[in-house]
């Protein structure tokens, strides 16, 4: 039980510090970590629609809509014309440039992690974290419950 509590405390502390560092790095770009994640989602899958962004980021459609509206007003995202009743989204040139700048800012602010950990240690830490996430994944129900 003590290891479980230590794991939770360490994960929360790391998440808070990562979030604070990323938000601080993005402040000069007038972005938040949430806006940045929307830009990344749109870059990874162009023409994605807002509901897909919400699912990918595991946030509500209402929150996603508010974030997309902020990005639209800043001319970073453009709504496409209706396609089978759905409007896709794409990054504008402004959005692409801001995303590149955000990536650079985040990489710079997170560089102390590289200085603290050897490359092999960082890879191993990521493997261990992925293994823990995999161990906690929801188990599918048996076919007879479906």
d(CA 146, CA 132): 27
pLDDT in tens, 14-65: 999 998 999 999 999 999 999 999 999 999 998 888 889 999 999 999 999 9
What pLDDT sits at residue 142? 78
pLDDT at residue 143 tops 80: no
pTM of structure = 0.79
d(CA 94, CA 72): 11
What pLDDT sits at residue 84? 63
pLDDT in tens, 80-113: 877 766 778 999 999 999 999 999 999 999 888 8
What pLDDT sits at residue 75? 96
């Amino acid at each position: 039980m003590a290891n479980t509590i230590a794991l939770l405390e360490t994960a929360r502390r790391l998440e808070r510090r990562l979030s604070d560092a990323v938000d601080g790095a993005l402040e000069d770009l007038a972005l938040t970590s949430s806006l940045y994640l929307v830009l990344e989602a749109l870059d990874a899958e162009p023409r994605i629609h807002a509901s897909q962004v919400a699912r990918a980021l595991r946030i509500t459609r209402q929150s996603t809509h508010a974030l997309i509206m902020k990005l639209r007003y800043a001319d970073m995202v453009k709504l496409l014309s209706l396609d089978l009743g759905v409007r896709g989204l794409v990054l504008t040139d402004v959005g692409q440039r801001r995303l590149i700048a955000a990536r650079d800012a985040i990489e710079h602010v997170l560089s102390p992690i590289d200085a603290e950990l050897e490359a092999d240690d960082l890879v191993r830490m990521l493997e261990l974290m992925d293994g823990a996430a995999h161990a906690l994944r929801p188990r599918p129900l048996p076919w007879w419950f479906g």
